[in-house]
Structures are given as structure tokens and as C-alpha cells.
Copies of this chain bind each other. A is one copy, B any other.
Amino acid sequence: MKILIAGIDGYLGWPLALHLSGRGHEVGGIDMYLRRKWVEEMSSWSALPISSMPERLVALKERHDREISFWEGDLTNYDFVEGIIREFEPDAVVHLGECPSAPYSMIDVHHAKWVQSNNVDSTFNLIFAMRDHRPEAHLLKLGTMGEYGTPGMPIPEGFFEIEYRGHKDRLPFPRQAGSWYHWSKVHGSNNIMFACKIYGLRATDIMQGVVFGTQTDEMAGDPRLLSRLDFDQAFGTAINRFCCQAVIGHPLTPYGRGHQKRGFLPLRDSMQCFTLALENPPEHGEYRVFNQFHEVYDIVSLANTVREVSSDLGLDVEVRHLDNPRMELEEHFYEPDHQHLLDLGYQPAHDVATEVRMMVGDLIAHRDRIEAKKDALVPDVNWSGRRSRVGFVGEQTVSTRD
């Protein structure tokens, strides 16, 4: 299959390119390295040192004798996107080319507008270029479980059948996202659902949980093939951040009470799930939604897992709660479905502790890089709009919460 990955230079994009090309697919990719720039804007960098895209492509050729087509450019430029769809003629397009950070979108009006328009415009360009040049191709769009928020009822996969005032219908499940970024993903989901309806496109919309991990099989043995691993407040996600904190002896920092529950999955499971969706495409005109995660955890229990694993490895760290810079429920019901991918054969590969052990092992070697940017670990982007560093819960600091 010819598969085009928008956002091939990112945390998920690069491992996915390796994985799919390893399975014999012909892979192309687009990027303009914005993720590297955003993380720099947050005064940070990847904990694992990563190669440039040209170096990655050389390494792939030398190590595995495989090639990937690459285009550098802006997904919000229609002519650029259209040209690639016409030239590469993909059977599937994986859209990972969006800005993926809630805190980044909450910085100010300019970031809020930019994240939403960047994410919506790039999706539009793919939709229209596919409609006009590859109408039978499959659009695999990365959304997030965060689109749903935390309603007081089970979360189905995209749609639900309900009865209201004596009438039954199958409707999109209501979305209650928690940041401008998460809403940008809702806007994109809505647009894609409509594109399938009116243009007959086929799409899989992935409501993905929080991904963690440093390794996939394909990158083993060659540091030039590693993917990035972020730990800053905006682009680092819970488990990845905790592991980075652990290796430098920084407290592990759940926000608020830390009983927020989320779905999680290891990086290699994410690759497996994307592949299952790509190799089992939807029908012509079908818009399907997959909730993509392995298991639901609360944040404190994950911090404790990282603490325990780290302790086994001789790292002594404590768990200390930070004032929550976000506005979110810290105790809530959470029961999302995740059956569709299991039905396609998804086999969860690892438990959290095993994965965390590998991660901490990988990260210890790069302790200095984390230490050098450790200020990026503590958030200062508050959902209220104020920009001020949050303190530990109960500490005498200037409160940043309203």
C-alpha cells in the first residue's frame, strides 16, 4: 500500500514510518519541523537526541536498505498538498500533522487561533486534495480521547443509539473538550464526518489515549532512528514526563488531586493500532471512530508506578502534587469503550511497568539533556489565561488559580 504520513517528523510520525515501511508498505511523508520549533519555544528539547530528517533517511537506507519519499513544506498550503497527493498517489493518508498540545493552545489568543486554524486548514487541504485526486484513498486522522471530555456516562466509539422523548436515533456522541487544542480536534472530526457524507470519502478517526514510551523494534540498534521524547509542560505527556523527572530526581508531579483518569497506550501499541486501521480500511463513504488506548489509569497511580520502577533502578523520587494549571474534573466517572481495535486483532503488548522500565533505562543515558532544560518541567500556562509558574499543592506560593 502507498501510505502518506503528514507529520512524519513527529513523536508518532517517525516510528510509524519505520513500522509501515518495515511491513512492506511504500511510505511518503510531509513535515516542516514545526514540532521541533514549538518545543524550542517552550524552552525545551527532546530528552532523546534525535537526528535531522535527512540523517534519518540516510540511516534508514544504511540500516534497513529502505527508502521513504519526503516533502518539506506547509500542510496549510493547498497547492503544496495537492501537488503531493497527485504525485505520490497514496492509498492511505495518515494525518498526524497537527499541533498536539493543550497548554500551547492556551497561551494566548494568538496561539489559540493559530492552533485551531492550522489544524483545521491542514485537514481541509487533505480532504479536498483526496476528493479531487484520490477519492478512494483512506484518510486516517489522529484525534484524541480528549475530544469527549469526561461525561457522566460510558463513552462509545464516536456514535451512540439513544432514546429521547420517545424517539430513537443514532447520533454523534457529544464532545466536551478541555482546551482550544482539544476543540481543534473536535472541529476536525466534525469536518471529516461531513466530508465522508458529502464527498463519499472513507475515513478512520482515531480518538487516541495518551501515548508513552521510547522504543519500537524498528528503531532498536541505531540511535539515528530514535524518535523524540518530550518532557516540557506543553509537549510532554504524563508518563513520559514522569520518567524524565525520575531520572533527574525531580518530584513526579500530578496536577491537583491527580485522580483524573485517562486512557493510555505504549508507543508500540499505537503503531500496531494505526497499522490495523490502515490494513483494514473502512468502506467507501464510511466515517468510523476508533477509541485507541489499552487501559484507563488515574494519574497518581501512574506516578506511583514510575516511582516504584525507578526505585528498583536505584532512583529515589517522591510524588508531589502541583496546583492544577488546567480546569478539569479531578474526580470523575470514566468508562470509554475500546472494542473496535480489539475486534480487528489489537494485542496489547506490554504492561505499564515493563514499558516504564525500558523508558527509564533509555533516558538515564540522557540525564544531562533533561537537567539542562528542567525549568520546562513545571507548568506556567494556566487555563485561566494567566502566565505564572504553578506551585506545589499546599505550598506558600502565589496562587495561580482563580
Q: Could you tell me which A residues sit within 8 Å of B by CB distance? A: 78, 108-110, 112-113, 116-117, 120-121, 124-125, 127-128, 131-132, 151-154, 160, 162, 164-165, 167-169, 171-178, 180, 183, 186-187, 190-191, 194, 197-200, 327, 333, 383-385, 402
Contacts and interface: CB of A to CB of B under 8 A. Distances in A.
A12 to B, nearest CB: 25
A172 B176 contact: yes
A165 B154 contact: yes
A198 B112 contact: no
Contact of A183 (B132, B164, B190): B190
A162 B164 CA distance: 7
Given A154-B167, A197-B327, A198-B383, 18 more contacts: A109-B128, A112-B128, A113-B120, A113-B121, A151-B169, A152-B167, A153-B165, A153-B168, A160-B164, A162-B164, A167-B333, A171-B176, A172-B174, A172-B176, A174-B174, A183-B191, A198-B327, A200-B402
Given A110-B78, A117-B117, A199 B384 contact: yes
A109 B333 CA distance: 40
A146 to B, nearest CB: 12
B153 A169 contact: yes
Contact of A190 (B109, B131, B186): B186
A108 B79 CA distance: 13
Contacts of A171: 151, 174, 176
Contact of A124 (B113, B169, B191): B113
A151 B385 CA distance: 37
A329 B394 CA distance: 57
Number of copies of this protein chain within its complex = 2
Contact of A153 (B131, B151, B167, B197): B167
Contacts of A121: 113, 117
Nearest to A167: B153
Contact of A131 (B116, B117, B154, B385): B385
A113 B120 CA distance: 8
B154 A164 contact: yes
8 contacts: A78-B109, A112-B124, A113-B124, A152-B168, A152-B169, A153-B165, A172-B176, A180-B191
Given A171-B176, A174-B171, A198-B384, A125 B109 contact: yes
A164 B153 contact: yes
Q: Which of A125, A153, A385 has the most CB of B within 10 A?
A: A153
Nearest to A117: B117
B169 A172 contact: no
A75 to B, nearest CB: 12
A289 to B, nearest CB: 13
Nearest to A78: B109
Given A113-B124, A153-B167, A190 B187 contact: yes
Contacts of A178: 194
A171 B160 CA distance: 13
A251 to B, nearest CB: 27
A169 to B, nearest CB: 4
Contacts of A153: 164-165, 167-169
Contacts of A162: 162, 164
Contacts of A198: 327, 383-384
Contact of A177 (B116, B165, B194): B194
Give me the 6 closest cross-chain CB pairs, A-B, nearest first: A153-B167, A109-B128, A152-B169, A171-B174, A172-B174, A187-B187
B151 A124 contact: no
The listed residue with most B CB atoms (<10 A of its CB), out of A78, A172, A198, is: A198
Most chain B CB inside 10 Å of its own CB: which residue of A78, A127, A194: A194
